[in-house]
Amino acid sequence: REKVTIQTLQVLRSRKEPITMLTAYDYPTALACSSNPAIDITLVGDSLAQVCLGLKSTTQLTLDQMIHHATAVARGTTHPLLIADMPFGSYHASVEQAINNAVRMVREAQVEAIKLEGGEEIVELVRRLTSLGIPVMAHIGLLPQRHVASSGYKVQGRSLDAAKAMMRTAKLLEQAGAFSMVVEAVPKELGQFITDNLSIPTIGIGAGPSTSGQVLVWDDAMGTWNGHKAKFVRRFANMQAIRDEGVQNYAQSVKDGSFPDPQRESYTIDKTEWTRFL
């Protein structure tokens, strides 16, 4: 498949063909996303912190760690548009600092666009980055980088006031130049309302079926772990079961001496030379 571009996403949106986005954190998962022509976007999410690095929260992830992983994902990415999250703290202190860090993401990690969590407070930054040619995907609704300030991971925009405020925020981010927007954990009606009132594609996660596209965390979708499963998660594979079976089969075969097989899985000497020696 040809490289997916921002324009491709606009075409998909206008055709009402759902956009597919999956996260990847390393070379093999990047290859897996790229192996299917129906995947449009690969996201190096800062969910990397929990599902790959065993950290408690995305707020513990550093920019260097993100660049390290995004670089590996870039090596395995072919047609999908490659986007990565700016980690917590890497775009907060000033617009200058944020630009420097975004440039590192593009230059060192070779990501094609960056994703930023936030509302009005990042509008100026979105405008600056966009004007410099660094495409920005916005992220509204549930903002995991603020889970402490918001007293946990909760559905957002349930009241009419909160929904209106979110719609206003979405409009501001669009006007600032965001090329697309993740909408996380909102009622499906609000997912639809925001989608209908923007001209850029929305990518939903727990935002119902009416957004322009969907995204899930790799480990949630593929069932590589048995951690907390949010309501919006569907397991499309049970990789944990397959993996555990493989570990069990390997360990048992070594323990019972059936691996390696002396014929099929072992090397042999050069008989004529070694007879003198043995």
Residue 12 interacting partner from ligand KIV, Na ion, none (CB closer than 5 to 8 Å by kind): none
Interface residue list for ligand KIV (CB under 6 A): 23, 43, 45-47, 85, 182, 205, 215, 217
Q: Which helix (H) or strand (E) holds 105?
A: helix 95-107
In the complex, the smallest distance separating the C-beta of residue 43 from ligand KIV, rounded to whole angstroms, is: 6
Residue 215 interacting partner from ligand KIV, Na ion, none (CB closer than 5 to 8 Å by kind): ligand KIV
Q: Figure out which of the listed residues 18, 45, 206, 213 binds Na ion, where binding follows CB under 5 A.
A: 45
Which segment (29-37, 42-50, 159-167, 224-232) binds Na ion by CB under 5 A?
42-50
86: helix, strand or coil: coil
Contact call for residues 131 and 177 (beta carbons, < 8 A): yes
Q: Which two tokens stand for residue 33?
A: 């996303």
Nearer residue to Na ion within complex by CB, 45 or 201: 45
Contact call for residues 63 and 101 (beta carbons, < 8 A): yes
Q: Determine whether 117 is an active site residue.
A: no
Contact call for residues 87 and 62 (beta carbons, < 8 A): yes
Site for Na ion in 81-110 (CB under 5 A): 85
16: helix, strand or coil: coil
In the complex, the smallest distance separating the C-beta of residue 184 from Na ion, rounded to whole angstroms, is: 8
Residue 174 interacting partner from Na ion, ligand KIV, none (CB closer than 5 to 8 Å by kind): none
In the complex, the smallest distance separating the C-beta of residue 221 from ligand KIV, rounded to whole angstroms, is: 10
**CB count, 10 Å around CB of 68?**
14
46: contact with Na ion by CB under 5 A = yes
In the complex, the smallest distance separating the C-beta of residue 182 from ligand KIV, rounded to whole angstroms, is: 5
Nearer residue to ligand KIV within complex by CB, 225 or 278: 225
**Of 41, 60, 42, residue with least CA distance to 50:** 60
The DSSP symbol for 18 reads P
- Amino acid letter at 103? V
118: contact with Na ion by CB under 5 A = no
Q: Which of 117, 184, 265, 273 is catalytic?
A: 184
Burial group, residue 203, by CB count within 10 angstroms (0-12, 13-18, 19+): buried
Contact call for residues 176 and 242 (beta carbons, < 8 A): no
In the complex, the smallest distance separating the C-beta of residue 85 from Na ion, rounded to whole angstroms, is: 4
40: contact with Na ion by CB under 5 A = no
Q: Which two tokens stand for residue 44?
A: 């190096």
Residue 182 interacting partner from ligand KIV, Na ion, none (CB closer than 5 to 8 Å by kind): ligand KIV
Cα separations (Å) of 154 from 8, 245, 265, 267? 32, 35, 53, 58
Q: Give me the residues that bind Na ion (CB under 5 A), please.
A: 45-46, 85
Active site residues: 184
